[in-house]
Structure formats: structure tokens, C-alpha cells
Structure 1
Amino acid sequence: CGVCILLFAAEVMRELRSVMSSTWAVCAVPSGPRTVLEDGRLVALHRGRSACIIVNNMIRAGIAMMLLTTGVRWLTGTSSITDLILNAAALCFVMDMDECLFATTVPSSVHIFVKGLQPLTYRRGGRNLEAIVPLVSICAICVLVFPLYVNPNSDDMLRVKQLLCAGNQN
């Protein structure tokens, strides 16, 4: 159970890190009255478009956090090892669904255009915080999940086992 929760939390942290990087990069692009693209490099971004990207990133972060909380509760309520592995795989699939939809439903001309774009540059924070914060968050999630969800669920299962299997079994 712990390994599945750890891996799922890492998947969610990867999404949140992507959201933060995207937001920082968009904020680093100068805003202007219109979007300017030169040789595959974003020179200026329209204020409205910048706001839409930031709102979209906030929605992505909110969905990731909701999936994290409900996914962890779902995983901790699963008692079978095979079901636990299948549920963790299903949750990771849900996290990757947007990339799957983009790869299958967007025309190839858009894929070619996106591949031709230069990566956005932004100033990264010092002290490797973008790596440390997800690691600390994953550890905190695992430390909190066991006393809040896993241990009570295990205790309930042991009580049920004792009630059903205790005493004379003839």
C-alpha cells in the first residue's frame, strides 16, 4: 500500500511541478498588446492569453490536488494487493489522460508547430527548491496517510477478522 501511495504521490507532484514551471515561464515572458512569435520563440504574450494560461494552470493544480486526496483515500481503502496495483495504475492513467488526448486528437500540423517552438526560459529559484519541495511533499503525504487512513483501515480489518474467526469454529 505504501509503495503505491508513494508512486501515485510522485506522479501528482510531477504534474504540480510541471504546472509551476509553466506558470513561472509564462510570467517571465513580456506581456504586450498582442502575442509575438519570432523564429519559434515567444517574444511577447497578450495579457489575456497570459491570464488564460495562468487560470488553466490553476485549474490543473486544483484537479491534481483533488486527485491526490481522493486517490490516496481510494488506495488506502483497497485491501487486495492486485486491486491496489490496478487502482494505482488507473490513477496514474488518469493523470496522463491529457497528454494522451493531445497526442490522439490534435492535428499533425499542430504537433509539428509545437515541436518547432523554442522552450520558454525563466529564472529558476535557488537551492533546487523545485526538486526539494516535491520530495518533502511526498514524504509528508506518506507520513500523514498511514496514521490517518492506513492504520485505522488495518485495525478495522483485524477487528472483522477477530469477530468472524474467533471462538469455536466447528
Structure 2
Amino acid sequence: DACLFIGLPTLSKWDSALAGFLLLLNIFTQIGFVLVVRSHMLEDILQPDQLTNLLRFRTNVAHDVKYADLVGGRSMARQVCSQDESLQWANSQTGVISDLNDYISVGPVLGLLAIGCWLSTTLRELFNIMGFVSAIRRYPIGESTLMAAGEEDDSADVVITQMTQFRKWVLFLFVALPRLVVAVSLAITGTRYLANTLSLADLILNAVALAFILDLDELVESAFMPRRARFLLDALGTLPIARVEIPGIGHVRGGFQERLKNMLKVALLLLGLSLAWLCLLQPLYDRARLAHNILCSGRQDFIYT
């Protein structure tokens, strides 16, 4: 929002240049994070080739006498499935069993909660962008962008009285549109990223990491934004809220409009959770059960020479 003041006489050329640079830095950093996650961290787990490798381990290694505990009379399959800490072989399979046991017990529920929190965060950002665009559209168009002192009954110390059409288009194209692209990309990529996490500990850490990416703009603003720009933003207060106009009815009251917005948020959240469960979490849960059955179902203690 501090980009509203870029190029205005209230900011020096240096402050305007720095604010513009921080805007571009934030956009490219967030897009970079999204691209890294999409290209390197969205590989589906427990795919057919991985399940085939687990099956080969169960049939060719897990019951081989060479790897059995002859003193205790236990095959490697029994040791892996019981997560025997004294086992010197098959550490990767033991780790997989540990993750599978945890995920099968509470993984889908925890994943759904994490995705719900993440979608709520991205929905907040999306509606903030919509509010920003609506506020910019509401400003009267003039030959120049003018600011004035706020009225006594106004919560803002400074108000924008008019804005040029060129500035509006710049704000739409270089502020609102990149924010929208980043928010939508993060919502989709982050949901897939969380739903594709088998370890419960990694699930919590990944959710926190995604929230950090989304809040990166606030971190950059608080750390590097020129002091005068932050002062003007605080003095500007809340941007004007445009009321929805329904043909034949007129403008919707503010309270009713806010309730409609909250209902829309809840509906979108429920839709996102439903899609995440059906398309991502449920298939992963089924694959986790299949992988667990491959490694630990049936008789475990027989060995062959």
C-alpha cells in the first residue's frame, strides 16, 4: 500500500526509487520461492515406482536369512515393522514405516487443518487485494494526484482527494496484479506442498515456511521502507471501502456487505478443503495404507535361505 505515494511530491526521488525497488524485490522474491517449490518440492511421494521398490524389498530382502536376527528368531521384516532401534540394515525402510504409522493415524486430519489455515491466510490476502483494487477505483480521476489533510471527524490524518488515470493503471498492473498472481500461485502450490508431506513434523514446518513467504512483503516494508513512506501510510488510515451496488436495489449496507464477504470466504474455504481432501489427501492416504501393507502385512517372521 505504501506504493500509493511513489512519485508524489510528498516523497523524495530517493524514497520513491527505494520504494519502487522494494516493490520489485518483493515480487521477484515471492515468485522465486513459488518457482522453487513448484519445480523441486512437489514431486509426488509413494508413486508406483516407489511402491514397487518397497515390494522388491519385502520379497527379496526382508525375509532373507542373511539379514535375519537368528538369535531372536526375527526376520528383517519383523524388525523393520517393529522399528527395532538395534537394526543395522534397512534404515530408510524403518524411517518410512515410522512416517507411515504416524500419517495413517493422524496425518490426513493434521494435513487438512494445515491446509485450512493456509487457505484462510491466502483468502485474506486475496480479499485484501480486492479491497485495494476497489479503493483505487473509487478515487476520483484528476489531472494530478492530490493529497489533503483529513477532516476532524475522519480517522485519517491524510486523505487522497483525486488520482490520475495513469497512476491507477500503474497500481493495477504493477501492484495489484502481481500480488494477485503471487497469492493464487501460493494458494495452489502451497496446498499441493502441504498435502504432499508425509512426515508430521515436516508438515508443521512447511506450513510455517509458506506463511513466511506470504508475509514477506510486510517484512520488507517494516525493515527497509523509507520512514516518510511508512509515516504517510499510517496517516492515510484505512483505504475507502466501495459498497456493492445491486441493480434495482442500490448500494448494499456496509454491515450486510461484510457478512456477505465472510460467507463467501467460508464457502471458498470449504470448497478448497473439499478439493484438497478428494484430490490430494485421500489418494495419499490410500497410497500410505498400501505402502504399509506391502511392508508389514501378512506373516513377518518366516525366512528363507
- When normalised by structure 1's length, the TM-score is 0.94
CA distance in 1, matches of 2:296, 2:183: 41
Alignment match, 2:119? 9
Alignment match, 1:31? 141
> Which residue type is aligned with residue 127 of structure 2?
R
CA distance in 2, matches of 1:20, 1:63: 14
> Which residue type is aligned with residue 155 of structure 1?
D
How far the C-alpha of 1:53 sits from its partner, in A, is 1.3
For 1:92-120, what per-residue CA distance to the aligned partner results, in whole angstroms no more than 9, with x for missing partners? 11111001101101122221122122433
1:32 match: secondary structure: coil
Structure 1 gap segments, 5+ residues each: none
CA distance in 1, matches of 2:217, 2:276: 27
Asked whether 1:61 is paired with 2:180, we answer yes
Moved over 3 A (4+): none
CA distance in 2, matches of 1:141, 1:79: 20
Structure 2 gap segments, 5+ residues each: 1-110, 150-157, 245-251
Alignment match, 1:116? 235
Indicate conservation of the 8 Å contact 1:42/1:120, yes or no. Answer: no
> Which residue type is aligned with residue 98 of structure 1?
D
Aligned residues: 170
Of Structure 1 and Structure 2, which has the larger fraction of its residues in helix?
Answer: 1
What are the within-5 Å matches in structure 2 for residues 97-108 of structure 1? 97-108=216-227
Alignment match, 1:130? 261
1:45 to 163, 174, 180: 163
Identity %: 25
How far the C-alpha of 1:37 sits from its partner, in A, is 0.6
CA distance in 1, matches of 2:242, 2:159: 17
Asked whether 1:20 is paired with 2:130, we answer yes
Moved more, 1-10 or 51-60: 51-60
How much is the aligned-residue C-alpha RMSD, in angstroms? 1.3
How far the C-alpha of 1:31 sits from its partner, in A, is 1.2
Larger radius of gyration: 2
Asked whether 1:89 is paired with 2:240, we answer no
